[in-house]
Structure 1
């Protein structure tokens, strides 16, 4: 088998042959905003990424996806009521059109939050030196702000508020700088909602989606009621194997599968859930070339992208120095699919869930103008837009208080926090797990550790009635619960749900939730359960040592 990064396929265009204009820099944001003039961000203000990104730059246009749009997506028409919002900016206009309630009837006059002041991000530092931010109902009309409760508490448009669209558009250009011209962003109610809408835009009932063989459980469970199934692709320590994707698509038998050749690849490239694998630059380029060869559209689901960590150096080894500046941090990040997408064949899904708070229920998607227009049409007749209060709080934190500089400083802080948490979990694994039975690869991103148990060493394998892998998984899982620790079963994450038969035994642990002390205790208990099930003596040491 050829090395995955060296796969020989013919791409439809050269991803290295286009000179991409320089990305927007953090320091360039103020100058661009000053040149753009006053933000039009009133109630239900019509907005677009085109208002906030680099003007026409000579980049190519995105590929059209007319033949890939589902019947449902093609059937969606613009909202008559939402479309009328473009007239609300006319000076002196008295609106008796849309049912936008009068702000005087909103029973919230003021909202106050306290947030960290960079670089003092700890709870203790925030308590002492944090910034108290207040927003009133009429800050915009009073000239004391660009976003207020009268706007946030009212209806908005399917693309999201102008205030947050401006921020995420600038952020996307700073981080990804898409190499085609007509890209846009739209807000979402988190990545799972984005994914459900993406399925409905591109897939019909009976279609297959390609993904990692073990993948985000909700991605599969969201697709199944829509009549969409998954084809799982084997992975290694860097995730998806591009030559196997190519092999599956080249040999696709539509008659045997009773389905057309897959048109969509779903992947979590960084800190993949559940395996923790992170695709390197060369791996992503190779997968993109396969996508070009087979005209695959890519759903790039990246909730963990900014949870890329410092390289793991092993127990008792000195840590790798952290990035000292925002520029060093951005250079340390692996390039995104969006940043190499010369065709416009990627929908990138970002979320504030893992980097700010899951309860915000705010994320955004980036794709070509054609696809964003379809996404917004879906928003208009479903979730409409994320919570206005969530958008307002995020704006006050990210834009008004931190700015892009402070937000990147926060992401550097998270990088170090998750590095510390990962290293603590790995130290516990080294100390308390039987390494002849349990093996793992240190994750480079995300919040999960994928552990493989050598099922061949289970004592039942030498008897007349050996346990199946599913039975072994059940035994270990229940033993762990009995010991007071919950570890996720590997089978919960299988991409192919019908007739799937596991050939390996996996469990997933997270280092995102518990303290270092509790993680150590949990791994001690899990190791004890594994030893009991595999019939080996307890040689794991003392958790208190």
Structure 2
């Protein structure tokens, strides 16, 4: 099959379609009324369900995505529907008695109900939760009442980032496992995959045992450099590389791990056009998407106020690759790990129908689905208790909290770090701060020490000062690449404000000791 041709992202109408009735897209405020119209969640033991059950009519007016059989691996093409999972479709028949499944009776589950205390919007602080929080109750048989999560997920992505074409979604365990599955869907042993030159270490370490190699794409303060990506692909030499031209790009576009870089809307459009030109499939891993912060105003300046309305908040978010995807060449990995709880182990995937169907075939015989206990806990919190408006209130709240944490770390860096050797760009999203250290000013250079040796000495010196930062070399996509610059990654996600200041002061002391300042 020949690759899809490139398309201009900005599509303009050329005919008068005013007489054509097109349903309005689903909005947050329109969700309650829409739910009253759709079919109720099927009940019973392990009922068959689909995200299509909750989609608004506007979804079905969109064009179908292009098909990408030529991207699929032999493993992906070989997978068939699970025989036993397919049989679950019969459970929707009224009055049917199932002796076909292997699930134990609920009477043998030793948990009758679960209770948890959670914040009540807008009182999200631990202190407010103690005094005004609500206790949510989940019973063993609640599923019989149609309580589940897929509808909530479908509404989320339909309302926050609207794909230009008809898409589907699937529950998954969080992003690392979803990424592992994507690799099995799209690659063969010996292939190269494209990654930011510094990337999430676990994402690279997931790929390498599968016989894959990383093609490191140059990055700057805004993430991927499209011209660099285009140059590498345009000059790809199959014989010299010993592998076919890469066709999968893994990117963390927002609050990138480890660099903290966030790709602007224009940068994403440029990268997408390069992907079209070279027929590349984009896997956007977005655990930090909703941790986009207020602009950094500098020490002593007031933090910009939060978005005044939910619409203002949604409009402030950088467009996702999914919302720019006119071909169906984007798979978005989402997770609750960074915005609710990492221990929930619940995420979801959004992609074209064809690609989601291949994911499902894999999940049926591997992870199967996220923990049912986690799902019911999230359902009780997000749907029954907060609803979409409460969840948006929560996202705005943690935006401001992370803004304050980010600012505290930046203030500490400005206060303590020696500016003649330490440099940084304020992160606009995520959890990470990327500090460049001018290693060439280290006295060890004159003695012939390498960057790697000096990095190790600085790292060990920091440990002796009782502070831990991550070494930049840990995040190299291409482990064989020669580093020209030295970096350390700091996170402001969990330490208290005073400990953030203390930690940076300790790191500064180790730098001064190492550089003899």
Q: Same fold (TM over 0.5)?
A: yes
For the 8 Å contact 1:48–1:184, the answer to whether it is kept is: no
Which residue number in structure 1 is paired with residue 321 of structure 2? 337
Deviation at 1:46, TM superposition (A): 1.2
For the 8 Å contact 1:21–1:57, the answer to whether it is kept is: no
Where does the alignment leave 5 or more consecutive residues of structure 2 unmatched?
Answer: 14-21
Alignment of 1:291-310 (within 5 A): 291-310=275-294
Which residue number in structure 2 is paired with residue 360 of structure 1? 344
Residue-pair matches, total: 505
1:164 aligns with 2:166: no
Which residue number in structure 1 is paired with residue 19 of structure 2? none
1:34 aligns with 2:55: no
Deviation at 1:129, TM superposition (A): 0.9
1:520 counterpart SS class: helix
Which residue number in structure 2 is paired with residue 475 of structure 1? 457
Which residue number in structure 2 is paired with residue 95 of structure 1? 98
Deviation at 1:460, TM superposition (A): 2.4
For the 8 Å contact 2:444–2:454, the answer to whether it is kept is: no
CA 59–18 in structure 1, closer or farther in 2 if over 3 Å, else same: farther
- 1:446-467 C-alpha deviation (Å, 9 max, x unpaired): 0000000011211123x3x221
Runs of 4+ in structure 1 displaced over 3 angstroms? 18-23
Which residue number in structure 2 is paired with residue 146 of structure 1? 146
1:88 counterpart SS class: helix
For the 8 Å contact 1:300–1:349, the answer to whether it is kept is: yes
Q: 1:245 aligns with which of 221, 229, 234?
A: 229
TM-score by length of 1: 0.91
Deviation at 1:324, TM superposition (A): 1.6
Deviation at 1:31, TM superposition (A): 1.2
1:519 aligns with 2:500: yes
Deviation at 1:37, TM superposition (A): 3.5
Alignment of 1:324-473 (within 5 A): 324-461=308-445, 463=446, 465-473=447-455
CA 21–240 in structure 1, closer or farther in 2 if over 3 Å, else same: farther
TM-score by length of 2: 0.96
Which residue number in structure 1 is paired with residue 478 of structure 2? 496
For the 8 Å contact 1:350–1:364, the answer to whether it is kept is: yes
Q: 2:69 aligns with which of 60, 66, 71?
A: 66
Which residue number in structure 2 is paired with residue 80 of structure 1? 83
1:311 aligns with 2:295: yes
Cα distance in structure 2, aligned partners of 1:80 and 1:146? 25
Cα distance in structure 2, aligned partners of 1:388 and 1:256? 49
Which residue number in structure 2 is paired with residue 158 of structure 1? none
Which residue number in structure 2 is paired with residue 16 of structure 1? 10
Root-mean-square deviation over aligned CA pairs:
1.4
Cα distance in structure 1, aligned partners of 2:246 and 2:233? 7
Where does the alignment leave 5 or more consecutive residues of structure 1 unmatched?
Answer: 1-9, 148-162, 537-545
- 1:101-151 C-alpha deviation (Å, 9 max, x unpaired): 11111111111111111101011111111111111122455xxx533xxxx
Cα distance in structure 1, aligned partners of 2:55 and 2:408? 41
For the 8 Å contact 2:461–2:510, the answer to whether it is kept is: yes
For the 8 Å contact 1:302–1:348, the answer to whether it is kept is: yes
Cα distance in structure 2, aligned partners of 1:256 and 1:358? 42
- 1:208-238 C-alpha deviation (Å, 9 max, x unpaired): 1111100000011000000111111111110
